[in-house]
Amino acid sequence: MSLLTNVMEHSLDDGYAEAAARRDATGRTGLPRSLRGKLLLALGLVLAASVVTLGAAQARYDAPTAAKEREELIDRVEQGTREADALEARVHELREDVADMQREALRADGTPDDLISLLAGSVPVTGPGVEVVVDDAEDTRAGGDGPRETTGFSDTGRVRDRDLQLVVNGLWASGAEAISINGQRLTSVSAIRAAGEAILVDNRPLVPPYTIRAVGDGPDLRSRFESSVDGQYLRVLEENYDIQARTTVREELELPAAPSLNIETAEPLPNGKGSHS
């Protein structure tokens, strides 16, 4: 108890108390006593105040300039967006003109252009069919044992280009007459590939969910696809990677025409006039 009482009554060490007493006796303080020291201290305070004042003034002066530059940058972005939209609209008009010229050329040649254009994908299509919606897993880190053999991005719950390729090929094999992905019409020369983690269809990036529309006999097309190897592959992706997929029969689907498509026709040569190897 005596130790605790001593600690409570003498919280300040005796050495510190003696040093404080000597400083008070000599009249020493933390401030400089000489005129030169006081002048240096005053000069330092003036310099510090000047730096703070100049910094505040500079910030206030630069604020309108930064705001003006930001507004100019926004105007440039908006102007560029408008110009890009106008160019895209012009490209669409030119594509329509080229498609009309192709149809006129085929019609003048006596070729059944409606059938050729339909098979080539150069005209819009309307009819019954199925709609397959494929989306990434809610938790894209989901994984499991399944048909994917590689590691990394392919073992996550993200839909990849090969998945869409198999689904599209399965629909073609099941009797689809025309197919589109997110409004992009597929033809015999269409390409589905990946660029990093993005999926491109004919060099145009797509954003999930991926909506695949296939025109054909809806109930029969759905039954054939779900029983096919590619339909089973899609089911395995659902079960093992939590990829979301939904197949629905639609009474009417509208598929756009494929852009920038050139139709070429060929006729057999008369007998005896072909090339010989």
Q: What is the mean pLDDT of residues 169-195?
A: 91
pTM exceeds 0.85: no
Q: Is 137 in the same domain as 207?
A: yes
Q: Is the pLDDT of residue 82 over 60?
A: yes
In the block, which residue shows the tokens 């269809």?
Answer: 201
Check residues 226 and 261 and name the one with the higher pLDDT: 226
Please tell me which residue, 185 or 268, carries the higher pLDDT value: 185
Q: Do residues 66 and 97 share a domain?
A: yes
219 preceded by a cis bond (ω within 30 of 0): no
Q: Are 198 and 109 in contact (CB under 8 A)?
A: no
Q: Which residue has the tokens 């005896």?
A: 272
Q: 180, 202 in Cβ contact below 8 A?
A: no
Residues 256 and 124 sit within 8 Å (Cβ to Cβ): yes
Do 250 and 185 share a structural domain? yes
Q: Has residue 164 been placed in a domain?
A: yes
Number of domains in the chain: 2
Query: What is the rounded (10 degree) CA torsion for 271, 272, 273, 275?
Result: 110
Integer CA distances (angstroms), 50 to 12, 40, 58, 62, in order: 41, 15, 12, 18
**Do 79 and 44 share a structural domain?**
yes
The CB-side HSE value for 24 (13 A sphere, CA atoms) comes to 6
- Express each pLDDT in 221-231 by its tens digit: 999 999 999 99
From 111, 143, 168, the end of a domain falls on 111
Rounded to a whole number of angstroms, the CA Rg of the chain reads 38
13-27, 115-129, 167-181, 197-211, range with greatest mean pLDDT? 167-181
Q: Residue 127: which residues within 8 A CB-CB, separation 6 or more?
A: 177, 215, 216, 252, 253
- 8 Å CB contact between 258 and 187: yes
Element (H, E) at 56: helix 35-108
User: Does residue 92 have a pLDDT over 60?
Assistant: yes
The residue among 226, 161, 231 whose CA lies nearest residue 193 is 161
Residues of the chain with pLDDT > 90: what percent?
30
Q: Is residue 159 part of a domain?
A: yes
Any idea which residue has 């852009």 for tokens?
A: 259
Domain that holds residue 105: 34-111
235 and 171 inside one domain: yes
Q: Give the pLDDT score at 266.
A: 66
Residues 157/141, Cβ–Cβ less than 8 Å: yes
User: Do 42 and 130 fall within a single domain?
Assistant: no
CATH of residue 187's domain is 3.30.70.1880
Distances in Å between the alpha carbon of 131 and those of 134, 181, 184, 255?
Answer: 10, 10, 14, 11
Q: How far apart are CA 163 and CA 176, in angstroms?
A: 18
The tally of CA atoms less than 13 A away on the side-chain side of residue 198 is 9
Q: What is the pLDDT of residues 170-179, one digit of tens each?
A: 999 999 999 9
